[in-house]
Structure 1
Amino acid sequence: MKHSHISIASLFLILAFGCQNKKLPILGESETINKLVDGKTVEQIIYPVIPDFSFLNQNGKVVTQSDYKDKIYIADFFFTTCPTICPVMKKNMLLVYEQFKDDQRVGILSHTIDPEHDTPQVLKQYSDDLGLSGNMWTFVTGDREKIFDIGQKHYMVSASTDPDEPGGYIHSGSFVLVDKDKHVRGMYDGTSQASTKELIKDIQTLLEE
């Protein structure tokens, strides 16, 4: 029996250690290149990263990749007049905001896909209506094609005009988790509270890496 108790205790320790060291995958299509290191050719895997960007936020200030240096952030795509999934997404994103609003290592970056309507002034009112404070959650607008491009090619979400859709746009309901090296580490259903809670756990995991 003594050996049995030791084995069970060891098993619990192993399981606990394994959970604490969960490793999130890097998403996207990687590339393998050959690199010369100390006179030897070795293979190196290159993972896709979020490229440099420049948008205007709700305060009329330019936001670039440098604003997220050494930060984990969550990106999503929406528009303020969206009559379908956006209200649910923002309600769930508020859970993330409340959890990390005082942590300078975490940010939220919401891109409007209707820049013609969603000016910085409109985004500011939208932010105020959500009851936000500080600079943890940023809303950005800019050139529509650039927003569509970075969404589809790099955040791996859908974002485009569609006259047959309510509001005239179609977009993904995903929350995209980006690490300090600008790699996409997870995608979550922004319309699901359970998936959002999983995102919160994964943010905490990244913070411990």
Structure 2
Amino acid sequence: MKILNSKIPFFSFTCFCLFFHVACNQKSEEKLPIYGQSNTIENEINGKIVVDTVYHSIPDFSFINQDSLFISQDFFNQKIYIANFFFTRCPTICPVMQQNMLTVYEEYKNDERVAFLSHSIDYRNDHPWVLKEYADRLGVDNSQWQFVNGQKDEVFNISKEYLVFTTEDENAPGGYDHQGLFILVDQQRRIRGAYDGTEDEQIQKLLNDVKILCKEYE
């Protein structure tokens, strides 16, 4: 068995959009690309070399949600989901991001194929009851959209798995710095797209790509 590694670091959004645009304009396929680390594996089967690619996927996780329940990857079994990183006291991009996520949530509300996951990076202050109040104010009234938090290392380590930059920074507004990306994840927990959560055009792109991804599982 031979394994070749290739790695892609945190998304540079400009480069990502260029590559994403080219890939998605292959209209004949109508299939989204897969992003992140990949391993090319060669196996000999019945005397023939069979090449397979194993893609980066979001690892197992467990975080506490707005209802003080532990949510793991099992909640998203047989679903595609959209993830992002935010914090409730964020004075900059988060309010716009979450309103835009709400637009997508309303479009797919009660659609069992699609879920939403917002990771708080404010591990000190975003307790479950804070997340609950935030979700209620936003207008989230079912379990389809989960708001979660955890210990410091857990929070920042999981953002790396989504290829999203997050950090604690006392000089940043609110004490944290992070990318405003929405990450589209398929049923195998592979990354299939990233979108600027503050841009209306990118939200429309996300809505279209969710439809494309859903068709893969029909």
Gaps of 5+ in 1: 1-17
Tell me the secondary structure at the aligned position of residue 159 of structure 2: helix
Tell me the secondary structure at the aligned position of residue 104 of structure 2: helix
CA distance in structure 2 between the aligned counterparts of 1:36 and 1:130, rounded to whole angstroms: 54
1:159 paired residue number: 166
Residues 36-185 of structure 1 mapped to structure 2, 5 A cutoff: 36-152=44-160, 154-185=161-192
The ranges of structure 1 where at least 4 consecutive aligned residues each deviate by more than 6 angstroms after the TM superposition are none
1:19/1:33 CA distance change after superposition, 3 Å: closer
Aligned residue type for 1:84: T
Q: Shift in Å at residue 20 of structure 1?
A: 7.5
CA distance in structure 1 between the aligned counterparts of 2:69 and 2:176, rounded to whole angstroms: 26
Number of aligned residue pairs: give it.
191
CA distance in structure 1 between the aligned counterparts of 2:154 and 2:142, rounded to whole angstroms: 27
Identity in percent:
48
Tell me the secondary structure at the aligned position of residue 103 of structure 1: coil
CA distance in structure 1 between the aligned counterparts of 2:45 and 2:70, rounded to whole angstroms: 40
CA distance in structure 2 between the aligned counterparts of 1:44 and 1:96, rounded to whole angstroms: 34
- Is the contact made by 2:123 and 2:155 (CA closer than 8 Å) also made in structure 1? no
Q: TM-score, normalised by structure 2?
A: 0.85
2:214 paired residue number: 207
CA deviations 1:54-111 (Å, max 9, x no partner) are 0001001110011100100000000000000000001110110110012011000000
Aligned residue type for 2:215: E
